Amino acid sequence: MTKQREQKLEKAIKQVKRKALRKQMVHMSTDFLPIDTIYDPHTFVEKLFSKLKKSNDKYEVKLYMLRLISRMIGRHKIQLL
């Protein structure tokens, strides 16, 4: 191998290692979810749902609220009546 090819190969290996390290860092940061740290998720979901019923917000805002409610229900296995 020529010197230039060896440098290209080393550079490619470094890039692959860097990408793998970045993927690992992203995976580590997504393990911590703020949804898990909410003090009283049941009360929070009930208040958010009652606020959703009364709100006159845009459709998109209501969808975001519903998404948050559904994530909370799924994550904490909450049952709303």
Interval 8-35: pLDDT, tens? 999 999 999 998 888 777 665 556 678 8
Q: Count CB-CB contacts under 10 A for residue 71.
A: 13
- Cβ atoms of residues 45 and 80 within 8 Å: yes
User: By the 8 A CB rule, do 41 and 78 touch?
Assistant: yes
Cα–Cα dist 77/23, whole Å: 29
Predicted local distance difference test score (pLDDT) of residue 68: 92
CA angle 34, 71, 67 (to 5 degrees): 110
pLDDT at position 46 is: 95
